[in-house]
Amino acid sequence: MGEDLGVATAGALNDHIMAGRGEELVRLNEALHEKKIAQIADNIFHQREQIRVILIAGPSSSGKTTFAQRLSIQLRVNGMQPISISLDDYFVDREHTPRDEQGQLDFEALEAIDLKLFNEQLAAIIQGKKVDLPSYNFKLGKREYLGRTVQIGPEQPIIIEGIHGLNERLTASIPRDRKYKIYISALTSLNIDRHNRIPTTDVRVLRRIVRDSQFRGHDAATTLRMWPLVRRGEEKNIFPFQEDADIMFNSALVYELAILKQYAEPLLQEIDSSVPEFVTANRLLKFLGGFVPLKDVEIPCTSILKEFVGGSCLVPEHS
């Protein structure tokens, strides 16, 4: 992506910004994202008589929620009327949630979802039956039924976004050829220089630090402390299944580190040298020091980046 836009290294990005071409870069990069999402929607449209379920999965902070919303819009442009179902509403009651090796509740385990109920309802929806959907009460740790019903026509696809989307066990009741699986990840194409790549994990953890501070009340030290657990869950639940995807979407934005820098640096600077997370924070600060900030530019409210920095018109800011 970076080479497509003439920006392959951090130095080239800095040159664009200092030359006053930052806003043009934002527009081009966002247009490229939109074009690729539209192409995926077109691909689904051409298989509309066969595809009934669209599954979107990817690691933490890859922008799954915004992508799902933008894909839904593009499908509507093609005359389709997709509906979305939240996997969160199919969590088992909290007392039945599996535990990890440390004895902690493992909400990311596939078994944290009521697979039997989910598959029964998914199959019924596809058959055109009217289904009473559950809603999960996170305060009580129980499913409730609040009168939410759904009934769809034969050409209405169902969009399901969640970490287990690529795992066949999640949707075992639906034949594989009726499903379209999308893997989304933030695979940055930007290099530090001609010989050193920017680790994708660094970009994702910076996205998460900013989002956790903006919307979840977590400081940067807390996010960094939890990151190894997040990564462990990805290694177990996401990465082993990525080869089963029908297509991959790269959510990285070549300009995003010049934006994230302004949000992340103050948060990382707050981490005290007495805590273990200081070492990682210091490394990330040195890394961000190599980028010129991109200021006073308008980022579209539909941008995947807005899911993390705020101002999204597609994703609720409490998500």
> The pTM is what?
0.93
72 and 93 assigned to the same domain: no
Integer Cα distance of 297 and 264 in angstroms: 18
Per-residue pLDDT of the chain (319 residues; tens, 9 = 90+): 556 677 989 999 999 999 999 999 999 999 999 999 999 999 999 999 999 999 999 999 999 999 999 999 999 999 999 999 999 899 999 999 999 888 888 888 999 999 999 999 999 999 999 999 999 998 999 999 999 999 999 889 999 998 899 999 999 999 999 999 999 999 987 888 776 788 889 999 999 999 999 998 999 999 999 999 899 889 999 999 999 999 999 999 999 999 999 999 999 999 999 999 999 999 999 999 999 999 989 999 999 999 999 999 998 865 5
* 186, 127: one domain: no
Same domain, 224 and 87: no
Q: Are residues 147 and 192 in the same domain?
A: no
Asked if 187 contacts 242 with a C-beta cutoff of 8 angstroms, the reply is no
Is 68 in the same domain as 183?
yes
Amino acid at 137: N
**Same domain, yes or no, for 149 and 17?**
no
Cβ proximity of 89 and 135 under 8 Å: yes
Which range marks the domain in which residue 134 is found?
Answer: 83-154
Q: Enumerate residues 6+ apart whose C-beta is below 8 A from 312.
A: 66, 301, 302, 303, 306
Token reading at 216: 């979840």
State whether 127 and 243 are in the same domain.
no
- CA dist list (Å): 193 to 10, 196, 261, 288: 7, 5, 18, 14
Q: Is residue 96 part of a domain?
A: yes
Domain-located, residue 112: yes
Q: Which of 151, 164, 117 is nearest to 136 (CA)?
A: 117
The answer to whether 6 and 12 are in contact (CB under 8 A) is: yes
Q: Quick one: DSSP state of residue 59?
A: S
Say how many domains are in the chain.
2
Q: Are residues 147 and 266 in the same domain?
A: no
Greatest distance between any 2 Cα atoms in the chain? 60
Last residue of a domain, one of 98, 120, 154: 154
Dist CA 235 CA 309 (whole Å)? 26
Residue 71 in any domain: the answer is yes
